[in-house]
Amino acid sequence: MDPINEVHVSEPGLVVVDVAAADDATALTFQQLLADRWATATAEYTTRDAGEPGVRLRCYLDLRQPTDLAPTPADAAPEASAAGP
């Protein structure tokens, strides 16, 4: 992988994550878990290094900007009514 660019870690809360995984699906799923939690610049694809096992990807996180973790109305359980049917 290329060296980390100084601008990507120029302030507290900015993170560069290099991922090594057995396969594309694992690496991209892990990246999506990070993206679900924090503002993330995601990679579109993984890379393979000749002579190295597995795949790699790099993504960039901004921990200062969390995503909304509140459950959506579709995820919430319906309220129970005090009145009977």
Q: What is the pLDDT of residues 36-47, one digit of tens each?
A: 888 888 888 899
Confidence at 85, pLDDT banded by 50, 70, 90: very low
Q: What is the pLDDT of residues 64-81, one digit of tens each?
A: 876 665 545 555 554 554
Query: Are 65 and 27 a contacting pair, CB within 8 Å?
Result: no
Query: Are 17 and 58 a contacting pair, CB within 8 Å?
Result: yes
Query: Are 60 and 35 a contacting pair, CB within 8 Å?
Result: no
Q: Give the whole-angstrom CA distance, residue 35 versus residue 68.
A: 11
